[in-house]
Structure 1
């Protein structure tokens, strides 16, 4: 029950934030917000893991991960980030067959 008691006052912003491996906390990128807003079946393996406590480790023994904003201790600053996509857009070429991808110009492999 104690893991659900808010540790900080009500704040503006998305309900979840990200804890980095060094213990710093940041806002989420747009892609992360979109992913967390998706509906998942309870047994879906792609369902995001949300930490219950700031210092708890994820299943793969890392400190980094998503946590509810109100579960971050007051003394820890939540840093703003540029609200952007974390997925880098890559321009792809289209070859003579219409296939899209990154192609080598060299005929030798």
Structure 2
């Protein structure tokens, strides 16, 4: 796991796909559901340069819960305590203690503490 850093008490369920060339950082206490995809690569948008790969890391904070079949795209930071709903596609940073859902994922509520 050269490009993946996993904290303490992390649970990663089955059939996940971690494409890690850009680096993946998973904080303590994170829960990652079935079939989650973490993708740190993008191809260039220019059709003549599609062979060029752009890497960017994914950061998952402490006590984050990512639901089954969610996809987290490169460059995204999911801040502490956040929840990503099943099947969501996350293409921008997720605030702490928020719940995001949808395609693309958007904040649907904040978690009271």
For normalisation by structure 2, the TM-score amounts to 0.24
Structure number with higher strand proportion: 2
Q: Which has the higher contact order (CA 8 A, sep 6+)?
A: 1
